Amino acid sequence: MAGGLFSTERGRTVALVTPPFIYALLLLALPLGAIILFSFWQKDGYDVVPTFTLENYRAFLDGEVYQVLLGRSLKVSAIVTVITVILAYPIAYFISFRVPNNRKSLWLFLITIPFWTSYLVRVFLWKVILGYNGVINSGLLQIGLIDEPLTFILYSVNSVIITLAHAFAPFAILPIFVALEKIDRSLLEAAQDLGENRVTTFLRVTLPLSMPGLMAAILIVFIPTIGDYVTPELMGGSGGKLIANMIQTQFLQLNNAPLGAALAIIAMLCVTLISLLLIFLNRRWLRV
């Protein structure tokens, strides 16, 4: 019988997936390769010379500022992840278990809307809320709870954390919700029938079964927050800058792309390793 790529469904599937795959190779794999290469090259004035060097990585090891920024970045991302996921779980649970089926879309829609509105403007508005003359301070002054405006909430790591936790809320809610939706409701009845109360049913059945969604939420918040330089730039003040700000500065202001590339790769490696470690530690829950 005639062979040909299109004569079998498998062949047609390969043919279909090829263009998007090639696009991703060209615009993702190739650039990632380029940046790895770049991090081993030398900067010479305003030029980059293709001479192999470990100088950029040595600069990271010698430069305390880079390590502090990376450490702070990882810490902020971790805190943001924990806060976001803890705040998100009850919402996902509420929508999945308490909201009637025909209203679930509406709730998810309400939660996704703020996420799609201009990110820059949203970050800026947190500045308005948390600022010296901001909503919180003027509110608290008005009702006489404080005598002068609180300053620790703006231009610090705290404000960065609050803003990021807000920005990534839907990313955390949706995967948990999807995992909760998949749970067969009769399993919960079975657990109660076998003598568990509501709390122990949650701990022994619901929570373990929602672990894949929980892990997805953790990763989908943790990984991108490392790469955000807008929030720390606008909200962090001098003490709240993160590694992404440094990468951006190296590329666009100091014109030291090789060092920026090395920092980017180090940051990505850290994130990847931590993610893999998390997946490994939770592997027994993820086989659902």
Residue numbers 134-163 binding other proteins by CB under 8 A:
134-135, 138-139
Q: 43: part of which helix (H) or strand (E)? A: strand 42-44
Q: Does 229 bind other proteins (CB under 8 A)?
A: yes
CB 219 within 8 A of CB 275: yes
Shortest CB 156 distance to other proteins, Å: 18
Q: Does 257 bind other proteins (CB under 8 A)?
A: yes
Closer residue to other proteins in complex, CB, 157/257: 257
Could you say which residues in the range 190-219 bind other proteins, by CB under 8 A? Answer: 219
CB 225 within 8 A of CB 243: no
Q: Does 108 bind other proteins (CB under 8 A)?
A: yes
Shortest CB 200 distance to other proteins, Å: 18
* The only residue of 59, 60, 79, 124 in contact with other proteins, by rule CB under 8 A: 124
Shortest CB 112 distance to other proteins, Å: 6
Q: Does 224 bind other proteins (CB under 8 A)?
A: yes
Alpha-carbon distance of 207 to 215, in angstroms, equals 12
Provide the 3-class DSSP secondary structure of residue 152: coil
The torsion angles phi and psi of 241, rounded to 5 degrees, stand at: -75, 150
Q: Does 223 bind other proteins (CB under 8 A)?
A: yes
Shortest CB 287 distance to other proteins, Å: 16
Shortest CB 270 distance to other proteins, Å: 11
Alpha-carbon distance of 123 to 118, in angstroms, equals 9
* The only residue of 46, 118, 143, 195 in contact with other proteins, by rule CB under 8 A: 118
Could you say which residues in the range 2-21 bind other proteins, by CB under 8 A? Answer: 2, 7-10, 12-14, 16-17, 19-21
Shortest CB 120 distance to other proteins, Å: 5
Q: Does 133 bind other proteins (CB under 8 A)?
A: yes
Give one word for 237, left, alpha or beta, with left for phi > 0 and alpha for psi -120 to 50: left
Binding mask of the shown chain, residues 35 to 74, with x at each position contacting other proteins by CB under 8 A: x--x---------x--------------------------
Provide the 3-class DSSP secondary structure of residue 237: coil
Alpha-carbon distance of 206 to 184, in angstroms, equals 10
Could you say which residues in the range 76-105 bind other proteins, by CB under 8 A? Answer: 87, 90-91, 93-95, 98, 101-102, 104-105
- Which one, of 167, 162, 200, lies nearest residue 79 by Cα? 162
Q: How far apart are the first and last CA of the chain?
A: 42
* Distances 208 to 74, 279, 283 between C-alpha atoms, Å: 27, 14, 12
* Distances 28 to 25, 35, 38 between C-alpha atoms, Å: 5, 11, 15
Shortest CB 167 distance to other proteins, Å: 10
Read off the tokens for 78. 């971790």
